[in-house]
């Protein structure tokens, strides 16, 4: 366990966390990250009471199954000037906006699993809360927010997203390689294919993840990882052609200034190559040249901890970083709606 201290407000003490949605799969990675940065989990909330994972890291944390009790406890801490530094949100996707707003009301910074929200309408609500101005893409304030210079400073407390693939060293290396290539040859154009196939059983479609209204479907629940990675590497997406859209499978062609990427997302084991049983996650040259080949099936184990390390040092990914991916997913889901009409 490492002790980084809390520098977000200049405090040098153990960081105090709360968590909403501690019973789900992804919460364990957040708990591990809290522990490894030397934090203290003060309180946890989940509507289900099967949360034995707390025993691994924070057995002394207060636990609540009712939101009102969690809020009362956290509010009492705040009244005693013992408030939470961060509340981590690990609930189903459709609840993220509500729980982010709840955390902000408790004067806590927020760390939210991705996707932070499912569409640009929800993004606009959070944008107004954090930056204090209405969201309008044509406004100078918004353009400043999304530019690298003359940026608007957000209000505190802050909203941070988990964009862990941006911290994967091999993806960082790929981004640098492509940037160097384009310096030498600005006209270079990459033609790639991306496959992200991760088999899921029947339980997946019986859960909230299989409900498009709650998860955002495969585009938001699975695609968010890939689309954000591609934006990080290649820059702002210019357009997308949707080729297929089904509950278990989606595909398309995504265009960037210097790249054309044929993508496939699937939770169907039938899409796996013969001999594969769990996952295929690759980005490679579409011409078979081998110029680019990247397998990102491994190397994710410690990326939540790295994300927390960056966040507590006030270097985390805020709304300005998640914007392009939310915009792209909203656009693709709009294409899906048109196809279904």
d(CA 287, CA 60): 55
Angle in degrees, CA 220, 225, 231, rounded to 5 = 105
pLDDT at 297: 73
Structure tokens that stand for 13 in this block: 């003490």
Residues 232-255: b if buried by 16+ CB within 10 A, e if exposed: bbbbebeebebeebeebbbbbebe
Structure tokens that stand for 31 in this block: 């708990």
d(CA 195, CA 193): 7
Task: Enumerate the β-bridge partners of residue 251.
Answer: 244, 264
pLDDT at 246: 92
Specify the pTM: 0.90
pLDDT at 137: 57
User: Which 8-state DSSP code applies to residue 151?
Assistant: P
d(CA 125, CA 330): 15
Residue 212 φ then ψ, to 5°: -60, -30
Residue that has been written with the tokens 């407390």 in this structure: 157
Q: Where does 113-168 have alpha helices with state H?
A: 120-131, 140-146
Render each residue's pLDDT in the chain as its tens digit; 341 residues. 444 445 444 556 789 999 999 998 899 999 999 999 999 999 999 999 989 999 999 999 999 999 999 999 999 999 999 999 999 999 999 999 999 999 999 999 999 999 999 999 999 999 888 887 766 655 555 555 555 545 566 667 999 999 999 999 989 999 999 999 999 999 999 999 999 998 899 999 999 999 999 999 999 999 998 999 999 999 999 999 999 999 999 999 999 999 999 999 999 988 888 766 677 888 999 987 878 998 877 766 689 999 999 999 989 999 989 999 999 999 999 987 676 65
Are the C-beta atoms of residues 272 and 260 closer than 8 Å to each other?
A: no
d(CA 6, CA 206): 41
d(CA 11, CA 15): 9
pLDDT at 210: 92
User: Which 8-state DSSP code applies to residue 247?
Assistant: S
Give, for 331, the enclosing helix (H) or strand (E).
helix 319-340
- The closest of 192, 225, 231, 108 to 158, measured between CA atoms, is 108
């Amino acid at each position: 366990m490492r002790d980084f201290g809390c520098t977000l407000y200049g405090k040098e003490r153990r960081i105090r966390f709360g968590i909403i949605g501690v019973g789900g799969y992804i919460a364990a990675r957040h708990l591990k990250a809290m522990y490894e940065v030397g934090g203290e989990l003060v309180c946890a909330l989940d509507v289900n009471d099967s949360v034995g994972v707390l025993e691994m890291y924070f057995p002394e944390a207060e636990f609540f199954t009712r939101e009102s009790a969690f809020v009362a406890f956290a509010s009492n801490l705040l009244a005693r000037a013992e408030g939470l530094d961060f509340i981590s949100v690990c609930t189903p996707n459709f609840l993220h906006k509500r729980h982010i707003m709840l955390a902000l009301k408790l004067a806590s910074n927020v760390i939210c699993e991705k996707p932070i929200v499912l569409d640009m309408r929800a993004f606009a609500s959070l944008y107004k809360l954090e930056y204090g101005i209405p969201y309008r893409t044509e406004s100078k304030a918004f353009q400043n927010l999304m530019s690298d210079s003359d940026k608007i400073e957000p209000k505190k407390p802050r909203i941070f997203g988990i964009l862990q693939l941006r911290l994967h060293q091999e993806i960082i290396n790929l981004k640098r390689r492509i940037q160097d290539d384009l310096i030498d040859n600005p006209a270079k154009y990459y033609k790639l294919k991306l496959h992200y196939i991760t088999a899921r059983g029947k339980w997946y479609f019986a859960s909230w993840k299989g409900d498009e209204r709650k998860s955002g479907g495969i585009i938001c629940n699975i695609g968010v990882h890939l689309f954000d990675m591609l934006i990080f590497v290649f820059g702002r997406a210019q357009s997308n052609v949707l080729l297929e859209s089904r509950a278990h499978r989606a595909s398309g062609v995504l265009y960037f200034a210097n790249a054309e990427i044929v993508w496939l997302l699937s939770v169907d084991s039938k899409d796996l190559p013969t001999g594969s049983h769990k996952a295929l996650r690759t980005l490679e040259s579409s011409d078979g040249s081998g110029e680019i080949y990247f397998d990102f099936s491994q190397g994710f184990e410690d990326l939540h901890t790295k994300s927390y390390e960056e966040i507590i040092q006030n270097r985390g990914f805020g709304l300005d970083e998640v914007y392009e991916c939310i915009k792209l997913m909203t656009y693709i889901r709009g294409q899906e709606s048109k196809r279904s009409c």
